Amino acid sequence: MKKLQKQDPQIYSTIKKEIKRQNEELELIASENYVSPAVLEAMGTVLTNKYSEGKAGHRYYGGNQIIDEMEFLAIERLKKIFGAEHANVQPLSGSPANAAVYMAFIKPGDKVLGLKLDHGGHLSHGHPVNFSGMLYNFVQYGVNEKTGRIDMEEVRRIAKKEKPKMIVAGYSAYSREIDWKGFKKIADEVDAYSFADIAHTAGLIAAGLMENPVPYFDVVSTTTHKTLRGPRGAVIMCKEKFAKQIDRAVFPGMQGGPHNHINAAKAVAFGEILKPSFKKYATQVIKNAKAMADEFIKLGYKIVSGGTDNHLFILNLGAKGIGGREAEQILEQIGISVSRSTIPNDPNPPMNPSGIRIGTPAATTRNMKEKEMRKIAKLIDEAFRNKADKKVLARIKKEVKNLCLKFPVPAK
Ligand code: DSN
């Protein structure tokens, strides 16, 4: 970054500080990860200079032959990973991808069935403060109060009563396997479109470790920067019969020119996913989440649904007398990032909910394993128990830093 350092020392210095933070601190935010040096390199290329409105092979600007070659590669790799009939790799991020999906299939005012946000859903699945909740008439299902899991009979009952045009499955804070076939069956019974947002678990699905909705569902979206370990962005996959309406919704419906440097980086990440080493990584992500959840249970903590099948879990801190926001702030003091999270039917508001969400994709990219996960759970517990003791927190912070330095993040 010599040129950047010389030309813009202020921005250079913020980047250097963030590099140091990422190296010395522990990332347990379930939606974050560290990309490989190759993905990072592809992002910082001159492909950013090119306008390419339209699809690969059908552009509204000249000079796109090479960009076409890159985009076709990204599409082919993505289709191969998930067995998709059609793929669009241009969505800029998760919410714009979901906006394009709604635009492609339904009209403003149409009814859609999605999971409640405080039960693990996503803002773009119909929350009133989001475009989805403003434009479309969302009705919502929740998880079962006792099991913390989605109850398919309850989904069926609501679907039959409400007759939505579309059913959305796939969540941001749900730690269990999803019955995609069951959802598709219900969607068929009420003549609704089936839409899966697999942003969180896409990498685990890609590795063949969780069920894949792509063969069943009408349309599937995912971000590319979470368990897929690619650049920030998103993609949409669908049945061939919906290809035209999805492509038109992405452009010109939602977006202008695609971000070609990012799409090249998506292709690089897809290439990595197609290698056997990715399955090994994804297998360890799940093992790590299970080990850490198990350690928290041993330490007397409650976990929503009692455990995890994927890369994340929600710690319910209600009984510990610590709010989600407070927990986030205590952990920041010891160099650990997590995100506060609601628990199902949370009595507290989203700004200070009753839980935190913990995820293992990033720590696993650093090569941490079950032993480190159990140690981290113990350090978190110690920090919570000594939240007012600055000396103890400072000592734990040092331990976290030493652990992180033993497991470096991928670097150029
Ligand atoms: N903000 C993401 C997450 O943290 O889950 C979802 O978009």
- Single out the catalytic residue among 55, 59, 176, 226: 226
pLDDT of residue 412: 67
Strands 339-341 and 355-359: antiparallel
What gap in Å lies between CA 125 and CA 358, rounded to an integer? 21
Residue 118 falls in the annotated catalytic set = no
159: left (phi over 0), alpha (psi -120 to 50) or beta: alpha
What gap in Å lies between CA 282 and CA 386, rounded to an integer? 34
369: tokens are 């394993």
Ligand 1 pocket: which residues have CB below 6 Å?
A: 31, 94, 122, 172, 339
**Residues 88, 249: contact at Cβ < 8 Å?**
no
| Residues whose CB falls within 8 Å of the CB of residue 406, separated by 6 or more in sequence, listed in order | none
Residue 308 falls in the annotated catalytic set = no
What gap in Å lies between CA 256 and CA 38, rounded to an integer? 27
The domain segmentation of the chain, as residue ranges, is 40-273, 277-406
Cis peptide before 252 (omega within 30 of 0): yes
Nearest alpha carbon, ligand 1 atom 4:
31
**Span from the CA of 65 to the centroid of ligand 1 (angstroms):** 35
Taking alpha carbons only, the member of 74, 35, 37, 36 closest to residue 52 is 74
What's the pLDDT tens digit per position in 176-214? 999 999 999 999 999 999 999 999 999 999 999 999 999
- What number is the average pLDDT over the span 249-256? 97
| Whole-number average pLDDT of the chain | 97
CATH 3.40.50.300 is held by the domain 277-406: no
Under DSSP, the state recorded for 118 is: G
Q: Do 40-273 and 277-406 show the same overall fold?
A: no
- Single out the catalytic residue among 232, 325, 378, 401: 232
- What number is the average pLDDT over the span 55-83? 97
Atom of ligand 1 nearest to the CA of 339: 4
Residue 232 falls in the annotated catalytic set = yes
At residue 168's C-alpha, the angle toward residues 164 and 171, to 5°, is 150
24: tokens are 């010395």
Residue 226 falls in the annotated catalytic set = yes
Atom of ligand 1 nearest to the CA of 29: 4
Is residue 155 classed exposed, middle or buried when 0-12, 13-18 and 19+ CB atoms within 10 A define those classes? buried
Nearest alpha carbon, ligand 1 atom 7:
94
Strands 58-59 and 54-55: antiparallel
Atom of ligand 1 nearest to the CA of 173: 5
What's the pLDDT tens digit per position in 320-372? 999 999 999 999 999 999 999 999 999 999 889 999 999 999 999 999 999 99
Predicted TM-score (pTM) of this structure: 0.97
Under CATH, which architecture does the 40-273 domain have? 3-Layer(aba) Sandwich (3.40)
